[in-house]
Amino acid sequence: MQTRLAGWWAPDREASREKRGADEILNAESQLDTQSPRIRSWYFDKEHSPSKSRIQQYRRRDVPRRIHILGTGSVGKLVAHSLRGIPNPPPITLLFHRRDLLKKWRREGEQIKLTTHKITESRNGYDVEVAAAQRRTHGTEVPLQELYGEETYPGLRPHEIAALNSTTAPTSQDISEPSLNPEEEDDTSDETIHNVVVTVKAASTVSALSAIRHRLTRGSTIIFLQNGMGILEEVNREVFPDIETRPNYMLGIISHGVNSTSSFSVVHAGFGTIALGLVPRYAARQLTNPAEPMTESWAPTSRYLLRTLTRTPVLAAVGFAPTELLQAQLEKLAVNAIVNPLTVMLDARNGSILYNFALSRVMRLLLSEISLVIRSLPELRGLPNVNTRFAPDRLETLVVGVAHRTRDNISSMLADVRKGKQTEIEYITGYVVKRGEEMGIKCVMNYMMLQMVIGKQNLINREEQEDVPVVGTGKSVVRSK
């Protein structure tokens, strides 16, 4: 049974703490317009309320309401669209990783369209900026001018630049009318980002965050809304190595079904939820040093984001305690480690893995390894019910349930493979294999699955490279060998 802990973070609970820092008062102040009268009166209660001059002092330094969205894929669009629909919506800035996307945004009316049950609603009023993702090769950031030979083309890939420079330009939609003159419009910013929702794919997270690293502070909060695990460890290592100065992190596990139909249009095909929680800054230390204090207070920006997302009905977001969130994440990991690679190998919809005894056997072999790895994780040690919750047959029930509910969907991994995009396999199956290795558990079945998906990705990439564009026709042909 999942213990829903919605409300455990609520400010009135915080009130019981003896010592409240300036930040907490500041946050309370910022929330007054959305608080219930009970909470409102508490803050102005004689005994508890800070002096008037302190209130005024903190009011000036209110928690900034602007929310940046890094990644305008299907989840990014859903979040941006939903947030603009709430009463007194926060200002939203969409961060584009390529300048040509900005041009496209302008051309397409500066709006996001969300279709639910065949009804499309457009929303506008967004601010936009370009935050060109940093390219990395062999784990090192590559300066843009080194990579592209031209400083003025940040965010474009070498072949796109070559195409733009050539007189016989390609016909690709994305680069058909690029804005390459940086003088044309100042579309970048160096202002501090206080609240950011990261929705880019797991493998792009480090490079996307590197582009805005200088704008994030110890007081900022990043919410990661992504598939897979092991991303935060990578971000800590590559982007924010200093534990004391890194921003605050929150995690969200999203179960909404959303499909992009174009750069700024999305279909909300399946209603789900977002399980949200704080990632404790010192969690790793607590693991190795039990004397480390377990209580961590929420940063004002984290609480602001939690409040804002949980008051957005379409998102159905709920706050969870960190240990519960971790277990929910592992359940999703187990489901994704079965449905996603199997649907890639079968090139079929999620429902295809059901009612097929041969595939059930494959599923069970994979799940026996996944279950053992999860049940052996040191971070779950001491938590009640872990063995039952992550037993192979319980995980199988979860997988079958999700495959059945989403039987007509194409898994996100299959969609990526079909488009020749990098998949999240290394953050799903790869994570299971890696954690298994750390604990001396060999996951041979999952290792094979990992290699099969990577192999298929390579195959498709190679086919794409052999796809020779025929200049002038707007079509392409695959040259036979």
Ligand X SMILES: CC(C)(CO)C(=O)C(=O)O
Contacts to ligand X by CB under 6 A: 227, 335-336, 339-340, 350, 402, 406, 409, 411-412
With respect to ligand X, which residue has the nearer C-beta, 311 or 349? 349
With respect to ligand X, which residue has the nearer C-beta, 227 or 429? 227
Q: How far is the CB of 260 from ligand X (least distance, A)?
A: 13
Q: How far is the CB of 414 from ligand X (least distance, A)?
A: 8
With respect to ligand X, which residue has the nearer C-beta, 301 or 406? 406
Of the chain, the end-to-end C-alpha distance in Å amounts to 57
With respect to ligand X, which residue has the nearer C-beta, 248 or 336? 336
* Cβ contacts of 233 within 8 Å, gap of 6 or more: none
DSSP line for 268-332: EEE---EEEEEE-TTHHHHHH-TTS----PPPHHHHHHHHHHHT-GGG-EEE--HHHHHHHHHHH
With respect to ligand X, which residue has the nearer C-beta, 27 or 423? 423
Rg of the chain's alpha carbons, rounded to an integer? Answer: 24
Q: How far is the CB of 367 from ligand X (least distance, A)?
A: 15
Burial class for 410, CB neighbours closer than 10 Å (0-12, 13-18, 19+): middle
With respect to ligand X, which residue has the nearer C-beta, 35 or 406? 406
With respect to ligand X, which residue has the nearer C-beta, 64 or 228? 228
Q: How far is the CB of 409 from ligand X (least distance, A)?
A: 4
Render the burial of 102-120: b for 16+ CB within 10 Å, e for the rest: bbbbeeeebbbbbeeeeee
Q: How far is the CB of 477 from ligand X (least distance, A)?
A: 32
Q: What is the DSSP letter of 411?
A: P
Q: How far is the CB of 158 from ligand X (least distance, A)?
A: 30
C-alpha distances (whole Å) from 349 to each of 333, 343, 359, 406 are 19, 6, 14, 9
Give phi and psi for 252, each to the nearest 5: -135, 135
3-state secondary structure (DSSP) of residue 218: strand
Task: Return the bridge partners of 369, or none.
Answer: none
With respect to ligand X, which residue has the nearer C-beta, 75 or 222? 75
Number of CB atoms found within 10 A of residue 241's CB: 10
Q: How far is the CB of 402 from ligand X (least distance, A)?
A: 5
Long-range contacts of 161-170 (CB under 8 A, 24+ apart): 168/471, 168/472, 170/469
C-alpha distances (whole Å) from 479 to each of 115, 269, 416 are 39, 38, 24
With respect to ligand X, which residue has the nearer C-beta, 94 or 342? 342
With respect to ligand X, which residue has the nearer C-beta, 195 or 350? 350
Q: How far is the CB of 257 from ligand X (least distance, A)?
A: 7
Give phi and psi for 268, each to the nearest 5: -90, 90
Q: How far is the CB of 410 from ligand X (least distance, A)?
A: 7
Number of CB atoms found within 10 A of residue 187's CB: 15
Smallest Cα–Cα separation from 337: which of 245, 218, 453? 453
Q: How far is the CB of 295 from ligand X (least distance, A)?
A: 33
